[in-house]
Amino acid sequence: MSKAAEQFDAADCVCSVGMKLTWDINDPKLPQDLKQFDAFQEWTDGYVRYIYSGEDKNAQRHLSGWAMRNTNNHNCQILKKSCLGVVVCARNCTLQDGGKLQLRPAICDKARQKQQKKLCPSCNSALELIPCRGHSGYPVTNFWRVDGKSIFFQAKGVHDHPRPESKSETEARRSAVKRRMSSPHFSQKRRLVEPEMGRYHDIPFPNLHQLSCMEGPDRFNIIEPNFPNFQSQPYTTFQNTEPYKFMYESMGEAPTTLQKPANPRLYMTRPHYEFPVSGCLGSSSYTTLYKDPASPPSEAESNKMGGGLTGVSHSPPTISHERNYDPKMAGWKPILGKAPYSERGDYGPLPANGNHHYYNSEYPCRYTGPAPTTPTALQTIITTTTKVSYQPCPKPSVVKYGENVYDVKGLPNCSALLEETSPTSYSDLKIPEDSSVIKSVHQDALPAKMERAENFDSYRYGGYAPNSYPDRVAHPFRYDGEY
């Protein structure tokens, strides 16, 4: 096997162990005695399956970057979790660094309700929970099952919202806040600024540091400055910590690098969804919604977006549940006139016909991430385009490895991998014929999600040349990687 092929094999996002094999979390018999396991995936998305080692701590804890809460499926064997979505600024304001507030929803219901009463650290408006409806109008679900020495993971649905903070980020932030709160330095500052607290609302453009220092513990608790998880900086939340450094420093916390690069994200000129070519592209192959880095928001746009640190208005915080933001503003556009939601229970499952609150015909997804404004955003561009089709998985034209995409002609395809790694002890295991992997993906994905493509000629995979939207459409398969 060539070096390239070895790397290809090693890439868990290309042909994960879980996706090489055909199994379902509900199968009475799952693959056994696996010699190879998937590396833990923090940011799974799409209809994917992984098989982790039973000794994998993250898998044991059923961790996920997404905020997943336990959902009862009345099956003790299988742990089911559903995605809570993401907490954002109700005004969709832009943070100082151009990012958006994307907090991790608290898992605990009560904590989440409290969380939603807090205010945006940037513009002081309310926070809003965007529920996940990536699975037929229901939250994306993750299934965990321990079987033998393996931990089986299966995800259903494609997250239709930005990533929240990862758990580690949230924990780090909380501990940083605690440290900050208990530090003598903070107490001293607090004493100094407390007499000024009454003037808070007169401060034209409070930044996080000011808020943190001026508002005391309670306020701190309310604000909990977010470490933005920029869609514009996919999968590198902390790769470039400089923009957020002040936040950490204001809390006595050095920038962390807690979030390991998980899934590469792809830039889009227009937000749209991709389905993972499971087994071939794996969970890393989807994208949420990224605007083209080449088209950052104009000054006017930034201001229109609700201010943020550079343009906070003094009008009282307003929560518009009827908002109908212009998509061009990287905003939100509910299709239905109905208030989008407030919390789980305020909305019912959406019909699968795509009347998603945040969908519209032009933007298949309800969330349009902020246009990247930092140069670093350009560093994580992935130049791939893979068109979704029912082509067999074993012979993908393009696979993604890391942040690059490779034409795998000449490389071992999934079939070869299967042949090499198929367990013998799992007699019931079905080896994909015409890519059961893909089949399984679409069996799951299509019924509910076809509507997303209604006005978006097709689901496309992969990234593109960052500055060339026509390219992205015209060349769905392209070799853009380089060894």
Smallest CA-to-CA distance from 49 within 156, 136, 149 is with: 156
Smallest CA-to-CA distance from 474 within 465, 196, 345, 482 is with: 465
Q: Considering only residues 114, 191, 314, 338, which one is a binding residue for DNA as defined by CB under 7 A?
A: 114
User: Segment near DNA (CB under 7 A), from 74-82, 207-215, 271-279, 427-435?
Assistant: 74-82
The CA distance from 170 to 102, in Å, is 11
Q: Considering only residues 14, 21, 63, 405, which one is a binding residue for DNA as defined by CB under 7 A?
A: 63
Question: Does 138 contact DNA by CB under 7 A?
Answer: yes
Contact 299, 34 (CB under 8 A): no
- Binders of DNA in range 77-106 (CB under 7 A): 79-82, 106
Q: How far is the CB of 392 from DNA (least distance, A)?
A: 26
Q: Considering only residues 260, 344, 395, 439, which one is a binding residue for DNA as defined by CB under 7 A?
A: 344
Question: Does 118 contact DNA by CB under 7 A?
Answer: no
473, 475, 476, 481 alpha-carbon torsion, rounded to 10°: -130
Q: How far is the CB of 73 from DNA (least distance, A)?
A: 6
Question: Does 76 contact DNA by CB under 7 A?
Answer: yes
Q: How far is the CB of 93 from DNA (least distance, A)?
A: 23
CA angle 405, 407, 411 (to 5 degrees): 115
Distances (CA, A) of 86 to 62, 66, 206, 303: 19, 8, 24, 23
Q: How far is the CB of 178 from DNA (least distance, A)?
A: 11
Q: How far is the CB of 55 from DNA (least distance, A)?
A: 16
The CA distance from 373 to 294, in Å, is 9
User: Segment near DNA (CB under 7 A), from 72-80, 244-252, 263-271, 313-321?
Assistant: 72-80
Dmax (CA) for the chain in angstroms is 73
Q: Which is nearer to DNA, 25 or 417 (CB)?
A: 25
The CA distance from 234 to 267, in Å, is 8
Q: Which is nearer to DNA, 144 or 461 (CB)?
A: 144
Smallest CA-to-CA distance from 72 within 81, 84, 59, 62 is with: 81
Residue 298 makes CB contacts below 8 A (sequence gap 6+) with none
Q: Which is nearer to DNA, 91 or 442 (CB)?
A: 442
The CA distance from 385 to 475, in Å, is 7
Q: How far is the CB of 173 from DNA (least distance, A)?
A: 11
Q: How far is the CB of 236 from DNA (least distance, A)?
A: 23
Reduce the DSSP state of residue 98 to 3 states and report it: coil
Question: Does 349 contact DNA by CB under 7 A?
Answer: yes
User: Segment near DNA (CB under 7 A), from 134-142, 287-295, 303-311, 418-426?
Assistant: 134-142
Q: Considering only residues 1, 111, 192, 254, which one is a binding residue for DNA as defined by CB under 7 A?
A: 111
Q: Considering only residues 35, 74, 185, 201, which one is a binding residue for DNA as defined by CB under 7 A?
A: 74
User: Segment near DNA (CB under 7 A), from 44-52, 55-63, 306-314, 432-440?
Assistant: 55-63
The CA distance from 189 to 298, in Å, is 37
Question: Does 28 contact DNA by CB under 7 A?
Answer: no
Contact 359, 365 (CB under 8 A): yes
Site for DNA, rule CB under 7 A: 26, 61-63, 68-74, 76, 79-82, 106-112, 114, 135, 138-139, 141, 167, 170, 344-345, 349
